[in-house]
Structure 1
Amino acid sequence: MYKVDLPVDESALRAVERRRAAEAERKNRIFNSRSRVIGVDLRALHKQREEKQERLEMDKQRGMAHDLLRLSLDEMAMQQKKEEEELRRELAQDMVQYRAIHQRAEDSRDADINYGRQAAPDASISVSDSALGPASMQVFLGEGINENEKKRAQKEMNERNLRAQKEEREKQEREQKNRELLTGRELVEKDLRAVQLSALEEECKRAAHIALSHYNQAQAEERMEREQQERLRREGEELEEVRYMVTSDLLTERPEAAKRKTESSAEGPRVLTNRWKGMTPQQISEIHRKREEQCLEKERLREMERQRDVAWDYHLTEQARQQEREENRDKELQREKRIQLDKYNQQLAREQQAHQHYLDKQQYTNRPTVHYFTQFSTSSR
């Protein structure tokens, strides 16, 4: 038997590799602590999806705007091209019309040669047809036939052209002169109108200035009149005040005037400050007596305030002592409760230690090794 190399089944190998890749991806997804513990942020994913959709929509709108702009530019370019072609066509038509009018082929000097005209020889040239052979070379086709008429027609045509050009130029000059004349007339009218407006403006300014001067002068005269009247009034008041001060009771120093006015007042006894000349000895002694009474009353009130402060301090001291006794009693109760709690905790600790000793020494004697824990979570199935 001979050894035959059979082809390897590639589909089976690709299926195995595909399953291995899927298994590796599944392990990576399942044993990934971040995805398993934290999870996937769906809100952030939705937000990214919305942002991507908005970005795609903006790109789509931008593309549509660019398309519209490109279409509008194409339309503008086509319209411009169409206008240029129309203008070129009009220029060509104008050129053809100009050539048909001013550059006719019939009016050229060699029109008889180009169009093959065969006219009779000039009568002035006495050459018989029998004398004109193929090799005579005396009279060529189109030469010497009606030369005078052609020159006269050409001269007349040139004169007509020159006359038409001269008339056209004179017409243009007349139109230019008329336009210049109209422009000059308009400029002169504008200058006259500007001069008239400036004259009217100056007249208005002059009238306004004169009116303002008259108004200011009237205001100045009125102010001077008021100042003079005010000065006369002030001088009269000052003279009246001087006369009153000279004849009043202030300078005469008569206290009876102030006393008499006080007694006759309807509002009761009061002092007129503009006529008061000072207090009497009886008034001064009355003031001293009242001040001594006020000092005694103030001293009595101060003593009462001091006694009230002493009583309040004694009350505060007693209250502080009572509060201190209550705080000491509370501290003693707290200390006793803490001692009882410590005893109870010690008892609980002894019971827990005994239970833990029972679990470690009697119940959980066969503890698992490291190899026991490594046999778990080794596959995604």
Structure 2
Amino acid sequence: MYKVDLPVDDSQDKVVEARRSAERARKARFFNPRQRVMGVDLDALNQQVLENKHKRSCEKLRNRDFDNLQRRQDEMLLLQDSNEKEKRKALQKDLNQFWDLQQQMKISHDVEVKGQYNLTIPESELGPSSMHIFEGEDRRRKERVKEQMRKKVKDLQEQMDDKKMRDKRAKHREMLLNNQLVNQDLMWAQQNAVEEERRKAALVSLWNDNQALAEVRALDRREQRRNEAADNLVEIWHAGTSDMLTETAEPAETYLGGGRPPHVLPDKWRGMSLAQLNHFHEQREQQRLEKKKQLEADKIRDAAWDMQLLKISKAGDEKDQKMAELRRQQRILMDQENKQLARLQQAHQHYLNKELYTNKPTRDYFAQFNTGCR
């Protein structure tokens, strides 16, 4: 014999221990007398306080992010507006410079056509076909030029007025936008202030409720202590003045009346009396005699039943023997009949082989078949 140290399978023990630990944790969570107080759940209140603190911190972070985002958007709007103004100013400057440099009177097409600039051929060599303006034509040129100058001044003044009006409208829109942003900031600040007041009011209400619950809990504890002290005093007085420590049996019996037997108090019972003991012994002796009679009757009934079973068993054995003898006789008759049939079969087979089928067919017998065609 070799001693083999097999590893012990403690998986079942681990499962049982895990279940016990979970059950102990569950009982400690629900039935811990140090934390469980009637009407107050300290764990839930602490969890609510932590959740409220986390919620307030998240709201502060969100408001700070919103303020930073709004500040960045305002700065971007101001920067975009200033860039737009600079672009318009540079564009207007380039346009004025283009007008001053590229649209002068001396380099215009009308001056080249109507004036006497860039002429390299002498006038004496020019024919009638080279003339643009004849004498007597365009008599109202001065008035037209004056009208053009006046119209140009008027258009320039209208452009300046229009530009001033656009600038004024832009400033007005900017002022309205700034006012709207300021009003929005004020509204958000008011909403935040109202929300903060509501939060403070909720915290104050929660603190008041917790304080009231704590007071109720303290009152309940004091009342419970007073009740326990009163109950203890009553129990001590009852133990000192009652018949609990006496040896008499009468205090244990209480008579209910109405012909009913006396009721026995278990905490005061000191045993049975002599009459009760005698009655108990008489009842026990009577039960013993009845049990003895019942056992004797059971023995007689069992003996009769065994005799009946024996008779039935004997009758069954005799019937089985008769059936076996009958089957044996039938088997003998069947064997004799089978032997007779075997002898008859052998005689018939001998007749067929020795007397009936004695002539064997020759080749001529087989040659007479299939000698012609259809």
TM-score normalised over the length of structure 1: 0.44
Relative contact order (C-alpha < 8 Å, sep 6+): which is higher?
Answer: 1
TM-score by length of 2: 0.45
